[in-house]
Amino acid sequence: MQKVIIYSTPTCGYCHVAKDWFKENNIEYEDFDVSQDEKKRNELVEKTGQMAVPVIVIGDETIIGFDKAKLSELLGI
């Protein structure tokens, strides 16, 4: 399975939905809290040109927001 990374904040509702969805589907992911990690926040802005969360990276694909259909497609669920 491809590596899954999520850039999130503790107060982001869609971030919680995405992480719950990953857990329900037994998908391991690495979570970066961009409200606390300046390096990862800068990385997020560099990748997307914005500060919106969640941003989910799967392989070479970057998804802004919780797009269940796209995530399912990329992860083969």
Residue 38's CB: how many other CB atoms inside 10 A?
9
- Amino acid 21: pLDDT: 97
Distances, alpha carbon 66 to alpha carbons 17, 26, 56, in Å: 8, 17, 8
CATH of the domain at 68: 3.40.30.10
Segment 49-65, tens digit of pLDDT:
998 999 999 999 999 99
Q: How confident is the model at residue 2 (pLDDT cuts 50, 70, 90)?
A: confident
Global pTM?
0.92
- Structurally, the chain folds into a number of domains equal to 1
Q: For the chain, state the CA radius of gyration.
A: 12
- Amino acid 27: pLDDT: 96
Structural domain of 45 = 4-75
Segment 4-61, tens digit of pLDDT:
999 999 999 999 999 999 999 999 999 999 999 999 999 999 999 998 999 999 999 9
